[in-house]
């Protein structure tokens, strides 16, 4: 007789959501996590009265009304709208690419003028490729040039992308940029989704409410005593690295990771926006996050006497670092398929989340997946 119905390895969003649903269904659930806190990469630390996103900015967005209603039933979300700004060599551009961006880039004032400029640059790039015998973009650079042209690619895409992936755009696959959103309106709202926001009081409250009355063991590494933990429950929900679960029998998958340089400033407002991307490759970090803007608006910003920023540095993952993003190339895709084939044979193990499925997920996708999951 097992002590629990489910052992959930990892107290991030997937694990916490699964625990919530299983507990609601009357199942006996134990969650373990090797970190000293729950929430995975959603974890926030309160510094100077500000909820600091310790593992990078997380902005919830969805067009699924059921998903939005569900997360708001756990904790009320605020009205935060993601409107990042790009800094290229000291000049600022609004994101995503919209009429504000095109005015800042070229001085154009009407949608027709903007479209003419974009098409002029796109067609020039396409003609150049055709002259070189290239009919289909072979890499990210050619794909981006054929979609948006030279100016926006060089100033707002190239440097940022190469910092993010640690590779030249000519060495990255074209499918990473399937399309580039172009808005011929003055609209700086980054997401197209109908709903977006941040939990009021931060993500810690959201996770805490999901795990209410669920047994949780922190500072607990599944692999340090694997046999013991495998005999704890009838089924296992695994949210860690799938290659580690199988002892790297086919080889190690690769990841990108992010390191953060945190600073406290004695001012009420450092940059005037939550997210500013630095798209010039000579700047070593990819972006600066000013955390107070996620939850403080208007006069609230000035009422808090200090501010906290995080500079983000993207780099190759090494042992001991936190794996963030799967590397989308042929070698890793082929390797993951081998691990996936092994996983498909498991009867009592459920693999879920970005590490276990070697796939990037937005938060709403995880929530929707668990809400529709049959226990």
Q: Of the listed 79, 132, 179, 266, which one is catalytic? A: 179
Is 325 annotated as catalytic? no
* HEC-encoded secondary structure of 68-81: HHHHHHHCCECCCC
Distance (Å, rounded) from C-alpha 14 to C-alpha 17? 5
* Catalytic residue check, 312: yes
- Kindly report the number of other CB atoms within 10 A of residue 294's CB atom: 26
Residue 106: the pLDDT is 98
- The answer to whether residue 329 is catalytic is no
Helix (H) or strand (E) holding 262: strand 255-265
pLDDT at residue 327 in the model: 87
Mean pLDDT calculated for residue range 341-348: 96
Q: pLDDT per residue over 76-118, tens digit each?
A: 999 999 999 999 999 999 999 999 999 999 999 999 999 999 9
Of the listed 142, 290, 295, 312, which one is catalytic? 312
pLDDT for 1: 82
> Is 179 an annotated catalytic residue?
yes
CB contact burial 39-50 (16+ within 10 A = b; e otherwise): bbbbbbeeeeeb
* φ, ψ dihedrals at 5, nearest 5°: -80, -40
Q: Which of 4, 33, 243, 287 is an active site residue? A: 287
Length of the chain as a residue count: 375
Is 66 part of the annotated catalytic residue set? no
pTM recorded for the entire structure: 0.93
pLDDT at 240: 97
Single out the catalytic residue among 4, 20, 203, 256. 256
The pair phi, psi for residue 60, each rounded to 5°, is -80, 135
Structural domains in the chain, sorted by start: 4-80+193-250+327-371 (3.40.50.720), 96-176 (no CATH)
Say whether 362 is catalytic. yes
Give tens-digit pLDDT for 59-71: 999 999 999 999 9
H or E stretch at 336: helix 330-343
215 sits in which H/E element: strand 215-217
Selecting among 142, 183, 243, 336, the annotated active-site residue is 183
Token pair 């600091």 in the structure block, residue? 52
- Dist CA 68 CA 88 (whole Å): 35
pLDDT band at 190 (very low <50, low <70, confident <90, very high): very high
Q: What is the pLDDT of residue 178?
A: 81
For position 329, what pLDDT does the model report? 81
Catalytic residue among 212, 246, 248, 360: 360
Active-site residue, 354 included: no
pLDDT of residue 346: 96
């Amino acid at each position: 007789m097992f002590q629990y119905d489910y052992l959930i390895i990892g107290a991030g969003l997937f694990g916490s959501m699964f625990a919530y649903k299983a507990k609601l269904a009357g199942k006996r659930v134990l969650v373990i996590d090797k970190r000293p806190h729950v929430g995975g990469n959603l974890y926030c630390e309160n510094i100077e009265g500000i909820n600091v996103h310790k593992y990078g900015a997380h902005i919830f967005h969805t067009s699924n009304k059921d998903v939005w209603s569900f997360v708001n039933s756990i904790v009320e979300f605020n009205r935060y709208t993601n409107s990042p700004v790009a800094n290229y060599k000291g000049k600022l551009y609004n994101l995503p690419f919209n009429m504000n961006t095109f005015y800042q880039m070229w001085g154009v004032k009407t949608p027709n003028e903007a479209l003419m400029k974009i098409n002029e640059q796109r067609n020039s790039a396409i003609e150049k490729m055709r002259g070189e015998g290239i009919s289909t973009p072979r890499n990210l650079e050619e794909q981006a040039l054929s979609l948006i042209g030279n100016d926006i690619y060089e100033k707002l895409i190239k440097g940022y992308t190469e910092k993010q992936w640690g590779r030249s755009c000519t060495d990255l696959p074209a499918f990473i940029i399937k399309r580039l959103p172009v808005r011929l309106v003055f609209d700086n709202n980054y997401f197209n989704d109908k709903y977006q926001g941040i939990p009021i009081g931060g993500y810690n409250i959201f996770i805490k409410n999901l795990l209410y009355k669920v047994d949780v063991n922190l500072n607990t590494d599944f692999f340090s005593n694997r046999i013991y933990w495998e005999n704890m429950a009838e089924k296992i929900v695994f949210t860690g690295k799938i290659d580690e679960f199988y002892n790297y029998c086919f080889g190690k998958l690769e990841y990108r990771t992010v390191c953060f340089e945190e600073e406290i400033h004695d001012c009420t407002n450092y940059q005037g926006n939550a997210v500013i991307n630095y798209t010039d490759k000579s700047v070593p970090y990819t972006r600066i996050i000013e955390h107070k803007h996620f939850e403080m608006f208007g006069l609230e910003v000035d009422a808090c006497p200090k501010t906290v920023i995080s500079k983000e540095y993207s780099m190759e993952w090494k042992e001991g670092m936190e794996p963030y993003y799967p590397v989308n190339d042929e070698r890793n895709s082929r390797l993951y398929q081998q691990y996936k084939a092994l996983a498909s044979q498991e009867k009592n193990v459920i693999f879920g989340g970005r590490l276990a499925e070697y796939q990037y997920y937005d938060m709403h996708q995880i929530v929707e997946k668990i809400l529709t999951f049959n226990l």
